[in-house]
Amino acid sequence: MARAVTTRQKTINSLVAWMVGLLIFFPILWIIIMSFKAEGDAIKAPLEVLNAPWTLENYGVVQERSDYSRHFVNSVILAFGSTLLGLLVAVPAAWAMAFVPSKRTKDILLWMLSTKMLPAVGVLYPIYLLFIQLGLLDSRAGLVVVLMLINLPIIVWMLYTYFKEIPGEILEAARMDGATLHEEILYVLTPMAIPGMASTVLLNVILAWNEAFWTLNLTAAKAAPLTAFIASYSSPEGLFYAKLSAASTMAIAPILIMGWFSQKQLVRGLTFGAVK
Amino acid sequence: MGQIQLNQVSKSFGSIEVIPPLDLAIEDGEFVVFVGPSGCGKSTLLRLIAGLEDVTEGRVMIDGKDATEIAPAKRGLAMVFQSYALYPHMSVRKNIAFPLRMAGLDKAEQDKCVAQAAEVLNLTDYLDRRPGQLSGGQRQRVAIGRAIVREPAAFLFDEPLSNLDAALRVGMRLEISELHKRLKTTMIYVTHDQVEAMTMADKIVVLQAGVIEQVGSPLELYQRPRNTFVAGFIGSPKMNLIQGAEADKHGAATIGIRPEHIDINENEGLWRGTVGVSEHLGSDTFFHIQCNASHEPLTVRATGEMALEYGADVHVTPRTEHLHKFDARGLRMQ
């Protein structure tokens, strides 16, 4: 009997989990469905949308009207560029805080995180002016720096958490074994921190890929990534739901696929230290 | 060579002095055990010798040379950590070869040394495994292997057996003692377990709150503890310490008597008492006897065959020739 109850409970739990999952995924699913419908059919009642004939027409139009590949390349450069630059800054920072902590280390970490609580628009004006003065408007370089800075607290936090998990005794053993600081980092610490670095990179690539506020405000044509590509379809001439959906699908597909294949690593990275 | 000398070495963390200035000489080839309750500074002292902590004041001399400012790797010492501290991403072979690789030895030389160490430590079959695939005892052997290949002037062990289960601990204890007999290299061994200290050491250093309470051979410490702390700490079960009227009779503030130096008799004896809990170990029996001479129950060692009922009235008599006397400061009286 006990077993029967457990099975029923399990089924209910699974159903609830699936429903929640579907609820979260539904908007994305609907966008994908709409992207395969004719412009006229896409705005009909939901059931009629499903019954309407399927078409690839929107993708053709979107491809013709805007340069997908240029936006895609920009997205890749901004997402990976900002993440790598972030790592360069965050690794030494997290390193110092994890292995040579001072009395103020916790305060510094919290202060860094607190910058994420500031509404981005609050600093838009000064940053915009800075960009004008430095001639960085609509440039990839400028945007890479801004995206790096807004994600830096997260990168530092994640790496700090990972480094904290590496036992200090192992590093001391390396020191006793004759490793210089350089060798200690190269042969002992880095190989042990690679899983952590991988999930940090992954999460930050996703965050930078999806970032819209700064990319929309600081780019026009040259440096515009896929977020700007989507936005260009909510135009003043009217809403083109089907085309907007096609553009969105094309924009999110790469990161969705990447996320799908690396979800294990990602979940491990996000829950590291929390469930140990 | 492996002679180590500490001259007025002290260590403070901020304003807290964990080790007041102390002197200690460790001779070449000696097996020295630092023992004391947790937090007594024994691991810190070991780390000062290793160079993993900087001394606040004083000098650390290794083989007559001042090593105070020398980096850990250059002191010619090898350390075995409590957590083993193996490199988890490397095979056993690479773990053991790591110090040789850092020293710039060529591959063939490395392989030769690793093979030798593996042979000594029965690790030959495990050389290609990762530390995660080994048992606790095997991991400990790998850690020792990594230390051996360096051919150090001295081995430093930081509570190396505390993560092992009781049976394995006894086995490894013997292995380490055996290794010392074979290599004849200086070994400094930190433990809080006084049984380990007694069984392994040539010389025991008893520490409390960073202060050396006594230095001597295991039997010296057992038979002539310098103060009440050492008397209570060395020996298992610990020495019975009695204060008050009974101590006064001997002109001391505290008298001490070991459990094996008390005789039990059901009919006559010096002190009357009631039998409490009995611990039967097979070879011996320890009786805890509440008696009029002492507030604390006395621990008395008897033969394994002896059986006394809980609550039985008995008489106990300490053998006066084995009585230890301590003054009001807790120091041994001659």
Q: Identify which of B42, B47, B70 has the alpha carbon closest to the alpha carbon of residue A168.
A: B47
Residue B294's pLDDT band (cuts 50, 70, 90):
confident
Q: Is residue B32 packed enough to be buried (19+ CB in 10 Å), middle (13-18) or exposed (0-12)?
A: buried
**B157: β partners:** B80, B189
- Top-confidence residue, B63 or A44: B63
What is each CA distance from B308 to A53, B27, B173, B304, in whole angstroms?
Answer: 96, 48, 35, 11
With an 8 Å Cβ cutoff, are B81 and A175 in contact?
no
Q: Are the beta carbons of B188 and B34 closer than 8 angstroms?
A: yes
B122 falls in which pLDDT band (50, 70, 90)?
confident
Q: What residues in chain A have their Cβ under 8 A from chain B's Cβ atoms? A: 167, 169-170, 172-179, 183, 187-188, 191-192
For residue B18, the SS3 value is strand
Contact B169, B199 (CB under 8 A): no
Name the nearest CA neighbour of A177 among B161, B83, B86.
B86
Q: What is the mean pLDDT of residues A93-119?
A: 89
Can you say whether the dihedral through the CA atoms of B308, B310, B312, B318 is positive or negative? positive
Please give the average per-residue pLDDT across A22-32, as a whole number: 91
CA A274 – CA B130 distance, rounded (Å): 26
Does A274 score more than 50 pLDDT?
no
Write the CA distances from B119 to B79, B92, B127, B184, integer angstroms: 20, 13, 10, 18
Which pLDDT belongs to residue A51?
A: 82
Q: Which residue type occupies A83?
A: T
CB contact under 8 A, B102 and A183: yes
Helix %, strand %, coil % for chain A, to 5? 80, 0, 20
Per-residue pLDDT, B57: 94
pLDDT score of A237 more than 70: no
The beta strand positions in chain A, using DSSP E, are 234-235, 238-239
Is the pLDDT score of A5 beyond 80? no
When CB atoms are compared, the residue of B52, B87, B102 closest to A172 is B52
Q: What is the DSSP string of B35-89?
A: E-STTSSHHHHHHHHHTSS--SEEEEEETTEE-TTS-GGGGTEEEE-TT----TT
Residues 6+ apart with CB under 8 A from B198: B204, B218, B222, B234
Which chain B positions have a beta carbon within 8 Å of A196's beta carbon? none
Which segments within chain B are labelled E, that is strand? 4-13, 16-26, 31-35, 57-62, 65-66, 77-80, 154-158, 186-191, 203-208, 211-216, 240-243, 254-257, 262-265, 271-280, 284-291, 298-303, 313-318, 324-326
Q: Is the pLDDT of residue A42 over 50?
A: yes
A-chain residues within 8 Å CB-CB of B83?
167, 169
Of B280, B274, B231, nearest to B256 by C-alpha is B231
Task: Report the pLDDT averaged over residues B40-45.
Answer: 93
User: Would you place residue B66 in the very low, low, confident or very high pLDDT band (cuts 50, 70, 90)?
Assistant: very high
**Mean per-residue pLDDT for A229-245?**
77
pLDDT at A275 over 50: no
**Per the structure block, which two tokens stand in for B104?**
């710039």
* Banded model confidence at residue B5, pLDDT cuts 50, 70, 90: very high
What is the rounded CA–CA span in Å between residue A195 and residue A198? Answer: 5
Q: Looking at residue A181, what is its pLDDT? A: 82
Digit-coded pLDDT (tens) for B265-286? 888 889 999 999 999 999 999 9
Round to whole Å and give the CA distance between A225 and A251.
9
Is it the case that residue B86 has pLDDT exceeding 80?
yes
What's the pLDDT band for A232 if we cut at 50, 70, 90? confident
CA-to-CA distance for A136 and A212, rounded, in angstroms?
A: 17
Q: Looking at residues A169-182, what average pLDDT do you find?
A: 89
Label the pairing between strands B154-158 and B186-191. parallel
Separation between Cα atoms, residue B238 and residue B241, nearest integer Å = 9
Report CA-CA distances (Å) from A129 to A78, A123, A222. 21, 10, 19
Among B96, B102, B113, which would you mutate to test the A interface (most chain A Cβ atoms within 10 Å of its Cβ)?
Answer: B102
Average pLDDT value for residue range A232-241: 72
A-B CB pairs within 8 A amount to 57
Burial zone of B176 (CB within 10 Å; 0-12 exposed, 13-18 middle, 19+ buried): buried
What are the phi and psi torsion angles at B211 (to 5°)?
-105, 135
CB A210 within 8 A of CB A227: yes
Name the band, by pLDDT with cuts 50, 70 and 90, for residue B68: very high
Q: Chain A residue with minimal CA distance to B155? A: A176
Pure H helices in A56-139: 57-65, 68-99, 105-114, 124-134
Q: How far is CA B254 from CA B36, B130, B199, B211, in A?
A: 21, 55, 28, 22
Q: Given pLDDT bands bounded at 50, 70 and 90, which one contains residue B111?
A: very high
Q: With an 8 Å Cβ cutoff, are A192 and B103 in contact?
A: no
- Vertex A20: Cα angle to A19 and A25 (nearest 5): 95
- Cα(B208)–Cα(B190) distance, rounded to whole angstroms? 13
User: Are B2 and B64 a contacting pair, CB within 8 Å?
Assistant: no
The amino acid at residue B149 is V
- List B273's β-bridge partners, or say none: B291, B314
What is the nearest CA distance from B93 to chain A, expressed in angstroms? 15
Q: If we measure between CA atoms, which residue out of B85, B192, B191 comes closest to residue B131?
A: B85
Element (H, E) at A191: helix A190-210
pLDDT in tens, A127-148: 999 999 998 888 889 999 999 9
Average predicted confidence (pLDDT) for chain B: 92
Spell out a b/e string for B148-160, using b for 16 or more CB atoms within 10 Å of the CB, else e.
bbbebbbbbbbbb
CA atoms within 13 A on the CB side of A205: 21
Q: Given B73, B87, B88, which is nearest A178 (Cβ)? A: B73
